Structure 1
């Protein structure tokens, strides 16, 4: 009897020890990719697939190349089209405006979207049923901005893999590279970025800058204020690459936030508006020539340097949301305004 009990104890001890070892082996390696990736970084399998990306909502893994992408962000859709991603549907904005077509797509790429059969899911107000009906195998959501549908994330992530990505802290070129790496479209992304960089270099060599520094902004239609682009915005980054110096925005102007936590804009309204326009020149984004006159006639701004010296320039209706198409149009507009040594710094 004693021998049997001793034997049982030895077997039980060995089993318990084995379970403890097994438990210790599994915990450190439970999620090696998740432990090493930073936000928006892509990890590719040696064979090509699966591919993973770290998002603000955690790790997202795609087992194979998507064939039916739905973008809920009209801002991100332009970059997806530029790299020839299989975009089947997109959220849209208010239709038939200076910046949007009758489908609510951005005018700079609406024709391309129509040629490729991209469906407009909804205009402005998100519609989960329309997204689901598009039968996506990947849903893309912008983390911030007026076209973000984060309120639908918990619902959509159960329908298809759902990528949450921000565009307020990176250029469209950075977005193109990330999308290219994640979607298996590296060649297309590299081609479109290299093409634009050639345009950018040529423009930089051609233009003579207006008086610096520059305040770059979107002027409200009701003349009460503006969204001023920071150096973290796609617009600000592009201007700095061209040699522009963004005017310093006083600290007491900063901190007003809308459309989620954003680093790409500073909102200046009311009494604070004149104090925010510190540039010796002003570039008006999402604006045509008539907005130049409206800004110049704003009686609150008459003492600012740019107004006094008539250094206000509209750079195009399609420059609010930058992608390959609108950024290329912006370079063309800057060449028209400042090319051939027309202005002196």
Structure 2
């Protein structure tokens, strides 16, 4: 090819490159994202996202973010599949070939092996990888997010901004909110107020969802009223640490479960019967009046998928009341 032919081609390619850069700039890239560990700068929409939080992974999948690998929890439980991914989005993860990096304890080497261009860490919870933050921040930008003080919709919006999936996040949230609004108009609420809780397997303690929790927020959006436990009912272990739960233990468990109905999260009908048979709780009005409702094993952490399943549970439980 002659030089005179190459020059116009080079010029065209140069113009195309400039247009591409301009288009990226117009879409907001590079983009600065505020996190609890400072501001991170993303030069372009991430293509290889690693989630160290199995809780956050579900929301990333819901907004079609390119998550390639994730930390996991213990496999083959009633909430997790054979990889340790949550059952509510397990099939989606398989379809998208999301790789399991490790179980439980964060592994910086495994994360590095995936060559991520964005790493997402939970600020709190059992799946937080903050202790290896410094190691990970040397590999790629690290986004620290909180999921215990906001709804999954708020988290989806936050993640959408960081991943360039704003439109997907908005569409997912709008679709869910429309379904939630429709359900609010059709269900018949059980006796109010309600105590929304996670009942511990040994029957000696419970975690009570507060209005600040995603579960509490969702219930209130649907018209439920959360019962306020006595101020002295909370265990000192959780005061000042977490805003989403109040830990009730020992004799304080019965005192704190003062709702006229009990909504049992992260549990099924077997767990509801176990609670009803607890001699220390048998005197509660909600138990005596058979107002104990199990809302599914996958509702301990809410993402789009588990929250959608929760709507189905509420519809099934309360449409006929």
Output aligned runs, 1:54-133, within 5 Å: 54-133=34-113
Shift of 1:122: 1.1
Preserved contact between residue 141 and residue 165 of structure 1 (Cα < 8 Å):
yes
Larger C-alpha radius of gyration, 1 or 2?
A: 1
1:265 aligns with 2:250: no
Task: Give the SS at the match of 1:226.
Answer: strand
* Matches of 1:52 and 1:255, distance apart in 2: 40
2:161 to 165, 181, 188: 181
Shift of 1:303: 2.1
Partner of 2:203: 223
* Matches of 2:220 and 2:183, distance apart in 1: 13
Partner of 2:11: none
Output aligned runs, 1:236-275, within 5 Å: 236-254=216-234, 256-257=236-237, 261-275=241-255
Preserved contact between residue 234 and residue 256 of structure 2 (Cα < 8 Å):
no
Partner of 1:22: none
Shift of 1:254: 3.0
Output aligned runs, 1:298-313, within 5 Å: 298-313=278-293
Q: 1:133 to 1:329 in 2, by over 3 A?
A: same
**Deviation readout 1:131-189 (Å, 9 max, x if unpaired):** 11121110000000111111111111111100011001100000111111121111101
**Alignment root-mean-square deviation, CA:** 1.6
Shift of 1:225: 0.9
Q: 1:45 to 1:274 in 2, by over 3 A?
A: farther
**Deviation readout 1:118-140 (Å, 9 max, x if unpaired):** 01111122212111112111000
Partner of 2:9: none
Please identify, of 249-258 and 189-198, the stretch whose mean Cα deviation from structure 2 is larger.
249-258
Aligned residue-pair number? 298
1:283 to 257, 260, 263: 263
* Matches of 1:137 and 1:255, distance apart in 2: 41
**Deviation readout 1:227-277 (Å, 9 max, x if unpaired):** 11111111000000000001102222336446x932111111112211110
- Runs of 4+ residues over 4 Å off in structure 1: 44-47
Task: Give the SS at the match of 2:298.
Answer: helix
Task: Give the SS at the match of 1:317.
Answer: coil
* Matches of 2:47 and 2:216, distance apart in 1: 34
Partner of 1:328: 308
Partner of 2:183: 203
2:148 to 158, 168, 174: 168
Task: Give the SS at the match of 2:246.
Answer: strand
* Matches of 1:180 and 1:256, distance apart in 2: 36
Please, which runs of 5 or more residues in structure 1 have no aligned partner?
1-43
TM-score (norm 1): 0.84
Task: Give the SS at the match of 2:293.
Answer: strand
